[in-house]
Structure 1
Amino acid sequence: MGGTTLGIDIGTSAIKALLVGPDEAVLAEADVPLAISRPRPLWSEQDPAEWWRGTETAVTRLRAAAPEAFAAVRAIGLSGQMHGAVLLDRSGAVLRPAILWNDGRSHAECAELERRVPGLGAIAGVPAMPGFTAPKLLWVAAHEPAVFAAIDRVLLPKDYVRLQMTGEAVTEMSDAAGTLWLDEAARDWSDAVLAATGLDRTKMGRLVEGSEPSGTLRADVAAAWGLAPGVVVAGGGGDAAAGGIGVGAISEGDAFVSLGTSGQYFVVNESYRPHPAAFVHAFAHALPGRWFQMAAMLNAASCLAWLAPVVGESDIGALLARVEAEKPATPDLLFLPYLAGERTPHNDPYARGVFFGMTPDTTRLDLARAVLEGVAFSFADARDALAAAGTRPERAGAIGGGARSRFWMRIFADVLGIPIVRYAGAEKGPAFGASRLARLALGGTSVEALCRAPAITEVLEPDPAASAAYAPKIERYRALYRALKDQFPPA
């Protein structure tokens, strides 16, 4: 287990990189912001070249911050936003901007894919939804046929960065799971689903497990970064799975909620248990022989990041502190957090954000409290979707940027009715999990010995009175979506 590892998370809003010592102490970290392009309604795109530039910038900062530790890096793990479609031609050039996970343009193509592959949800772990990669390729074939005809390789975001690092086109099970092209039970590409999108496995990356080596750092990249030859690059994981590795969610029933740009309610399974009717994702984990069920929400801490400048707040932390101090009562104020549509449980790319119940007395703190509650209510929907799939965790950890707020996590405990566990350093999330997968790829340690939960800083028990008070408000929240569903016009 000797040597330093590097965990790199190719996020939606930023590249996050962590330098981690052999004792799992974080020695340095770097964040490089990223921009999203929304050229048309429902579209969400990024330039893959920005991911590579951001990665190199993050690495440069880590090297400057801890030069000796950085020079001792022996392995690198990658995590990243899932579902993005990176399309390359035969020369390796990017054919068009990457279509991201929160892009909603391929709704019609989802129906077509379901028609072409009966039983898709049982194979792929979830029904077709616009965020996934496969329907994006049907959209490209229909609307950009010249681009589709030129495709030589389809990669996921973190795997495009891997290609620049190693020269190898490789992906791993947990990220491949989110494409709809993976046969989840077999942990192999599904030839039937690939054929239904006009592709075959020659267009896909080679599959490895997340804890296995995927290649080594190219000699020229290693030299430019000041690293020794032969640095191992692990398979890594999609952001949700890597986040799970980071908080020790590796065994049956281990659960966490993640509040980043998007949100996840994630529960580990030791067998493949699909339940597509509830729009729960049943995916391969980043470790061999493990799967997970997950409810995925497209809008989480991003809702608060959206609200803050709208109401003239430049410091989200200060805004949260004032909301916690004043605890504004908002019994009649509701917020639907569907700024970018929603996945679980609605599969509705047309849904939009709504404030409902404002009066002349409504303040910015009222709005902020409503946003915190609205996001938590979406996790109540996630809880019920998981319950329909037969999964009822007894407690859940909390990770991601939103987990830094004790007040928000208190709301989550009351809304979900289960204890919420706060961990030391939980906001580091997927990048830390990626560093653990890097260490596993080096060998010499077991999953159980390495992938332990971080130190618990607090367990927030639900307040039964608060949970009871939230119950009717959650029902009003759900009724509001049902009432407005047909008023969200297709773009």
Structure 2
Amino acid sequence: MSLLGIDLGTSGVKAGVFNLDGACIAQAYREYDMLHPQPGWSELDSSNVWKITCEVIAEAVAQAGNDPVTALSIGSFGEAVVPVSKGRKILDNSILCVDDRGQEHIDRLLADFGHEVFYAINPNLLGPNYSMPKILWLKEHRPEVYDAADLFLHWADFIAFMLGAEPTTNNSHANRTLLFDLKKNDWSDELLAWSVIDREKLAPVVPGGTVTGTVSNAMAEQLGLPKGVKVVAGGHDQCCNALGCGGVSAGRAVYGMGSFDCITPIYNMPSDLQEMCRNNLNVEHHLVPDLFVSFHYNQAGLLVKWFRDTFTDGSVSYSQLDREMPAEPSRLLVLPHFDTPPHHTPDTAGVIVGLRTSTKRGEILKAIQEGTAFYFLEGMDALKNLGLGASEYIASGGGAQSDAGLQLRSDILGVPVVRPVITEAGLLGAAMNAGIATGVLQNPEAAAELFVRHERLFEPDEKRHAFYREKHALYKQLQPSLQPVLKTL
């Protein structure tokens, strides 16, 4: 008996099979590329990603051999939705959060509600990255797609639906639409009325961890699964990461390292939502009942992939590039505002400062990672002021395999970073979610005790931390100093 976790990211999809001894017995992965039909546009080919997802599931299931899967769950990146018919026909590409389209609808929402009134319903920081502005863009510019779509499903829910489950939307992803009422734990009548998005095009909201059906016989045969595999509503990938890192109680925090770096503190429902708003923190349901999470994130992993694809011929591994990074701090400064600047600041872009003809590519890579870590320091101070700080971070995702990357983050943040034995915590969290929902695992605490083990602790070097604090002061000057030039560009 085993559990299948699926983790669908912006640049690739993984599937992992876990037995009830807490071991990963099979794993598969495939990458795919973003499409950029026009400057500022970023999409995924929905049909191609679905095809690749099926291949990855089939490969992992075949590797698992005679240990049959009984249940599965899916975690995926937030915001982006797939337009699909009730007959499971894919109707168009999926517009990603880093896509520029839809800002005009955010401006209109802000003018009509004001941020504080809106935040009291849906506690998110307003920007064009969410689902609602993308759906409204489709309604205006591709009405044939909007009209034909019976449902707009987030990727985790879309994969579940395509496998045979009933169409639903898990509550952590529903929150990323800007159409969700956090306290009601359901769609907001007020925000839906304002948006003029047809309610029936949004699936019913269920908590993550709800059984929503079984894999269809046809899909089971295609993927090599036994009949009757339960499909469990998953969640936002960072919520799955948190569960897979053992984040099952308030006071824990996770440092996810995938396409995006994301710091995720876990806490009880805040008593003062507006204080969270003033500190630029969102609030979202965790996969664990009665717990909530916030996200500080930037596109660190995507920048490393961009670096690899731009500065190599593609044959150089990430581990090789890691070895090229200097041991000491770089002499460069990087503003990591390539596609997702902080709080959706307009008129900015990525910047690399300090280049010389003696600069090696390893130093550029280290500076990119330093810049993405500098980005988090002010947010960490806000979390501490709200009592949501953590004494250590549990690292997860593909980036957590890098010793150099984890040490760099510990040095900059000034707190220990723990690498668990299973760093693909998104996969593990999705599998744990499937087991908890179907009664194979007793509860989140028991699941964490069984599955989550620590491998290594990275502690900050005091000298490097002090140096990085001084360098951070320079980093903070970059965007304001360069704003006139960036705006013109």
- Give TM-score, length-normalised by structure 2: 0.92
Q: Please, which moves more after superposition, 184-193 or 357-366? A: 357-366
| Pairing 1:450-489 to 2, within 5 Å after superposition | 450-452=447-449, 454-489=452-487
CA contact (8 A) 2:164 2:216 kept: yes
CA contact (8 A) 1:82 1:178 kept: yes
Report how many aligned residue pairs link the two structures. Answer: 480
- Residue 338 of structure 1: aligned partner: 337
- Residue 401 of structure 1: aligned partner: 398
Q: CA deviation at 1:167?
A: 4.5
What amino acid is aligned across from residue 437 of structure 1 in structure 2? N
What amino acid is aligned across from residue 393 of structure 1 in structure 2? A
CA contact (8 A) 1:212 1:234 kept: yes
- Residue 79 of structure 1: aligned partner: 75
- Residue 318 of structure 2: aligned partner: 316
What amino acid is aligned across from residue 281 of structure 1 in structure 2? N
Unaligned runs of 5+ in 2: none
CA contact (8 A) 2:153 2:202 kept: yes
CA contact (8 A) 1:341 1:351 kept: no
Q: CA deviation at 1:104?
A: 2.3
- Residue 364 of structure 1: aligned partner: 361
Q: CA deviation at 1:109?
A: 1.7
CA contact (8 A) 1:245 1:433 kept: yes
Q: Deviations over 1:58-94 (max 9, x none)?
A: 122123323212xx11101111111002223565433
- Percentage of matched positions with identical amino acids: 28
What amino acid is aligned across from residue 307 of structure 1 in structure 2? F
Q: 1:117 to 1:139 in 2, by over 3 A?
A: farther
What amino acid is aligned across from residue 120 of structure 1 in structure 2? F
2-structure distance, mates of 1:164, 1:221: 9
2:128 maps to 1:130? yes
Q: Deviations over 1:415-451 (max 9, x none)?
A: 111111111121x121111111110111151111112
What amino acid is aligned across from residue 292 of structure 1 in structure 2? V
Q: Please, which moves more after superposition, 140-149 or 74-83? A: 140-149
What amino acid is aligned across from residue 343 of structure 2 in structure 1? H
2-structure distance, mates of 1:141, 1:276: 30
Q: 1:385 to 1:106 in 2, by over 3 A?
A: farther
User: Alpha carbon RMSD of aligned pairs, Å?
Assistant: 2.1
1-structure distance, mates of 2:350, 2:295: 23
Q: CA deviation at 1:389?
A: 5.0
- Residue 374 of structure 1: aligned partner: 371
Q: In the alignment, which of 37, 43, 46 is matched to residue 44 of structure 2?
A: 46
2:53 maps to 1:55? yes
What amino acid is aligned across from residue 373 of structure 1 in structure 2? E
CA contact (8 A) 2:153 2:203 kept: yes
What amino acid is aligned across from residue 369 of structure 2 in structure 1? L
| Pairing 1:20-419 to 2, within 5 Å after superposition | 20-69=18-67, 72-89=68-85, 92-118=88-114, 119-272=117-270, 274=273, 275-297=276-298, 299-312=299-312, 314-323=316-325, 326-327=326-327, 329-331=329-331, 333-342=332-341, 345-348=342-345, 350-387=347-384, 389-419=386-416
Q: Please, which moves more after superposition, 141-150 or 52-61? A: 141-150
What amino acid is aligned across from residue 433 of structure 2 in structure 1? L
What amino acid is aligned across from residue 403 of structure 1 in structure 2? A
Q: 1:90 to 1:349 in 2, by over 3 A?
A: farther
CA contact (8 A) 2:212 2:233 kept: yes
Q: Please, which moves more after superposition, 121-130 or 250-259? A: 121-130
Q: Please, which moves more after superposition, 91-100 or 438-447? A: 91-100
- Residue 424 of structure 1: aligned partner: 421
SS in 2 for 1:438: helix
CA contact (8 A) 1:265 1:382 kept: no
CA contact (8 A) 2:241 2:254 kept: no
2-structure distance, mates of 1:31, 1:218: 23
CA contact (8 A) 1:217 1:232 kept: yes
2-structure distance, mates of 1:354, 1:89: 42
Q: 1:238 to 1:425 in 2, by over 3 A?
A: same
- Give TM-score, length-normalised by structure 1: 0.92
Q: CA deviation at 1:156?
A: 0.5
SS in 1 for 2:172: helix
Unaligned runs of 5+ in 1: none
2-structure distance, mates of 1:164, 1:38: 26
2-structure distance, mates of 1:240, 1:111: 27
